Amino acid sequence: MNDKVAIITGASSGIGRATAALFAANGARVVAVGRNEKELNLLRDETQSGNGSIKIALADIREASQIDRLISEIVETYGQIDVLVNAAGILLNGSIENTTLDEWDKMMNINVRSVFNLMQKCVPHLINSKGNVVNVSSVTGLRAFPGVLAYCVSKAAADQLTRCTALELAPHGVRVNAVNPGVVETNLHKRGGMENEAYEKFLEHSKTTHPLGRVGKPEEVAELIFFLASEKAGWITGATYEIDGGRAQTCAR
């Protein structure tokens, strides 16, 4: 990963943050994309002793104009893009009966539309560098779960986007893969409206729904993302990798 330029969205927390730190520690020039400037600054300060570097990029990836500006600035600064990691995402609860159109659109815009837009704008540069994309999906993209309808649909769409673009870009030597985590201890559920007490109960219950008996850590998912983005995974494309403690192998409970 030495000197490769990696764009990582959702870098201010959770899986995105852990991935940015890991990439920088292994020599990458990381563009950490997010909206929380304070957390991004902390990320940069904590990883400045690594072999690589972290450049903060404040952007709202829901806005096409901001994505255009982001890509232009990166290419102007570095002259290349080698890796795109789409780690930004949101989760809101809701069923077919009570999910509002605004909630549906919000999740689709962040979890799918922005991923598509970022990939599309990066493709010419990824072709030049023979680079690759890693999308952060979810076990909910592979299996159905009640009460998170729009989130499940958005992640299933992200998986299919991964597979389709992998086929389209393979002739150019560009790889596209996704990781599908189970429950990982991040701020995702809290930002979706879950109170602290309910979240702690959820984590405890998740020990029984994941066969390995625990939830995941952001750093564990980051390691898989790093592998897929590295040359060691040079013959892997179109894959949606489960990293979920066995969650996808279980029945609904």
| Active site members | 151
Q: At 9, which amino acid appears?
A: T
Distance CA(111)–CA(163), nearest Å, equals: 16
Distance CA(189)–CA(49), nearest Å, equals: 31
Distance CA(244)–CA(139), nearest Å, equals: 7
For 201, other C-beta atoms within 10 Å of its C-beta total 12
DSSP letter (8 states) at residue 252: P
Round to the nearest angstrom and report the end-to-end CA distance of the chain: 41
Distance CA(34)–CA(94), nearest Å, equals: 26
Q: Are 5 and 78 in contact (CB under 8 A)?
A: yes
Q: Are 125 and 80 in contact (CB under 8 A)?
A: yes
